[in-house]
Amino acid sequence: MNYVFENDAAFSEYYEQLLINHINQHTSFTATKTTEKGYPDIQVTKAGAKFYIEVKVQRRTFMTVEKNLPDSGLKPSETVALNLSDLTRYFELEQEKKIHVFIFWVLLNRPCILGGEESSYYYRLASELKPIWEKEGEKRKFRRKSGEGDEVDGKHLGVTVNYHFSLKELKIWKGKLG
C-alpha cells in the first residue's frame, strides 16, 4: 500500500478539529490545538486542570495481523495501532510531567464492527495502556516497509513502527463528532 503522509495528516487534523469543537461546545472544558513540541494533538483545560488528547484516525484495517503478528492474539477487525515512539513518549510525559494523556481512536471503514455507523470512537489513558504494552512486549510491534508517500520534502515523516491494541482493551465513546 502507498501511505501518503500529507493526506493522512490532513485527514487526522479534520477529526482533531471536530473533537476540539465538540469539547468547546458541549463541555465546560476548553480545548485547543497543542503548540508544545512532542505533546499530543489537543490540550484541554479547566480551572488550572490540564490534560491532553492524541487523536488517531484509522481508515485501514491491519488485515494481515494474524500472519505478521501471530503471537499477538489479535484479529483484523479489532486491531488498532499507535506509533510506538508516540506511545512511549506519552508514557514518559505522564510519568515525568504528571499529566494525563488520552489516546482517542477514530475508526472508519470497519463494517464488521461499525454496522451502519460511519465511524466509531474508542479511547484510553496512556497509563492504562502501559500494563498491556509491558505484558505483550514485542508480540504487538510491527514495522512496515517505508514507501514513497512517507517522504515529504526529502524528510521521512511516515510512521513505520506501530504498536497494536485490541478494541476489547479500550473504552468506547458513544458521542458524535460534527
How confident is the model over 116-120, as a mean pLDDT? 63
Domain extent listing, the chain: 5-173
Q: Which residues of 79-110 are buried (b: 16+ CB within 10 A; e: fewer)?
A: bbbbbbebbebbbebbeeeebbbbbbbbbbeb
Given a cut of 70, whether residue 157 has pLDDT beyond it is no
Residue 3 has pLDDT above 70, yes or no: no
Q: What is the pTM of this model?
A: 0.83
Question: Under 8 Å CB-to-CB from 60, ≥6 apart: which residues?
Answer: 1, 109
Q: What is the pLDDT of residue 50?
A: 95
For residue 125, is pLDDT > 80?
A: yes
Is the per-residue pLDDT at 27 higher than 90? Answer: yes
Distance CA 137, CA 38 (A): 23
Domain spanning 5-173: CATH 3.30.360.10: no
When the pLDDT of each residue in the chain is averaged and rounded to a whole number, the result is: 84
- The string of pLDDT tens digits covering residues 78-108 is 899 998 889 999 999 999 999 999 999 998 8
Q: What's the alpha-carbon Rg for the chain, to the nearest Å?
A: 16
The proportion of the chain whose per-residue pLDDT surpasses 90, expressed as a percent, equals 60
Average pLDDT over residues 125-140: 96
Is the pLDDT reported for residue 116 higher than 60? no
Residue 150: pLDDT over 60: no
Encoded amino acid at 24, one letter:
N
Question: How confident is the model over 148-170, as a mean pLDDT?
Answer: 70
Name the residue among 115, 112, 103 with its Cα closest to residue 173. 103
- Per-residue pLDDT, averaged over 50-61, amounts to 90
